[in-house]
Amino acid sequence: MGDLTGVTVVFDLDGTLVDTAPDLLRALDVVMTAEGLSAPPAAETRLMVGQGARALIERAARAHGIVWPEEKLSRLTEDFVAAYAADIARDSRPFEGAVEALDTLIGAGAVLAVCTNKRTGLSVQLLETLGIADRFAAIVGADAVPARKPDPGHYRAAVATAGGTTGRSVMVGDSAADVNAAQAAGAPAIAVRFGYCEEGVETLGADVLIDAYAELGAAVRSVLR
């Protein structure tokens, strides 16, 4: 038994575990092009992707001075999801050191889970395509719970599905939704500096900030003390 036996480490997906922005922005380009519009430059939209497909489409339209009605937004969101799922990991990759960090945590006895505002099916598809789904005891997307992050119930559901308890759990994420969900559930939160946080990761109120996955093991142990 390792020193993290009985600990559940919960990860956000987009912008935390996997750099999915290239494929999400590819899907956005498909949707916008079909409407005769250009997608905003990647440099402008990369930090928006963590807010979901619908918000991404709304903001891309707003850049052209367009506000689409709800019905059209719903249809375009489904078009986006179809384009994204058709080649979900063409350019998406785990962040540097992520897979090694997962294996190190598992070796120390931790159980891992994913708590993401992405749809569960897409999350499983992405992680399976990348060959890392088997590291996680639970993959809980936004559609698997009554209310998604920052609702603490989403975090609690991920921990419980993985067989853990919130009192011996840690969240690893890149957004206010991640930090707030965990802390509202009574768990500490670690935030990564390399994710898609538009407002600035230093403003999130995380218990610890890390610059790289090499720092994760020490961070998990420090917040559990």
Whether residues 129 and 163 fall in one domain:
yes
Whether residues 81 and 116 fall in one domain:
no
Q: Establish if 3 belongs to a structural domain.
A: no
Q: Is the pLDDT of residue 77 over 80?
A: yes
- pLDDT (0 to 100) of residue 28: 95
| Residues acting as catalytic residues | 12
Q: How confident is the model at residue 144 (pLDDT cuts 50, 70, 90)?
A: very high
Query: Please, are residues 24 and 127 in contact by the beta-carbon 8 Å criterion?
Result: no
Entry pTM: 0.95
- Other beta carbons within 10 angstroms of residue 35's beta carbon come to 16
Whether residues 187 and 109 fall in one domain:
yes
Q: Is the pLDDT of residue 42 over 80?
A: yes
Whether residues 164 and 137 fall in one domain:
yes
Q: Name the least confident of 48-62, 126-140, 170-184.
A: 48-62
Whether residues 62 and 104 fall in one domain:
no
Enclosing domain of residue 132: 8-19+92-224
Q: Establish if 165 belongs to a structural domain.
A: yes
Task: Report, as an integer, the average pLDDT of 102-123.
Answer: 97
Which of 162, 221, 166 is CA-nearest to residue 190?
221
Task: Report, as an integer, the average pLDDT of 181-192.
Answer: 98
- Other beta carbons within 10 angstroms of residue 108's beta carbon come to 17
